[in-house]
Structure 1
Amino acid sequence: MKVYRLPIVLPRIEYDLGSAELRDLAIKDLDNLVEVLETNPDLRIQLRSHTDFRSSDEFNKDLSLKRAQACVDYLIQNGIDESRLEPIGMGESEPLTLTEDRNGFMKGDVFTKEFIEGIRSRRKRELAHQMNRRTDFKQIESDPEDAKLYGEY
């Protein structure tokens, strides 16, 4: 299976500390994703969930998988075939890298433990943790013939 393209961050699929529960804003974004998937019936995606670094690696890996599965379950409940969805728990292994200026942070900032611990403002530090607790998705394919359409081979 080949994964291609950059992950697309769904801006409002964020989570409370230690929780996999979907927030109201996350549900709105997932509803938009349902529309995209219905419009593109051959599209398959990985839902990759992330945590901040404040718990153990094992806890974070488990929590991130629960977050990804919560998104997948919601999409399935809304008519998307589970064979098109792959939940992946990233834990804290892939800190957010900003692709644009956002919330007082600069394009290119990488939200590592060292970066966040260096933030003086408690409010801004918590915001950085929140931005790391997210789900993004990547388009995947399993048929090499499909990949030719995208110039991958």
Structure 2
Amino acid sequence: MHLLAYILFFAATSCCLAHYRGGYESHRMFERDELHEDVDGVLVECPVCESNGVLPTHEHCNIIRGNKKYKKCEFGTYKNEVCGNRRDCYRGPAEQCTEKMQVDVYGQKCAYGYYCDNLYNVCVGLDYSVERPFGIYNHLYQYPLRDDKLIV
């Protein structure tokens, strides 16, 4: 009686386990989570421009595929004429922009609905504005006065 119960139990569990694992062909295959692109943004290879050492680019290239780095553009893309007509992301609120600088070395533009502040060189719009008292201390400084907590 016990032998019959063991045979039925073994047959039931081995059949279920084989079905659960996907059969003999896939028993040694490793499954890994693939990075899926969000439908909200477009991926752009970065850095778009080489850093000149005077002004850092502040690009966040947090997506790595193979040996290349990418960033996600939430506000759309444009052709960056300064960096050899490569695709670049429009900048959002509180992000660095260089389109109003005297010497534009990166060609960074603000997204629609935002404009580049001349003093701080950050994108300003309805949901982000620069506090003007800092301009007294920073009136001749043409590069961005930035705080990492302000970056969204």
Q: TM-score range by the shorter chain?
A: under 0.3
TM-score by length of 1: 0.23
User: Which structure shows the higher strand fraction?
Assistant: 1
If asked which structure has higher relative contact order (CA below 8 Å, sep 6+), I would say: 1
User: Which structure shows the higher helix fraction?
Assistant: 1
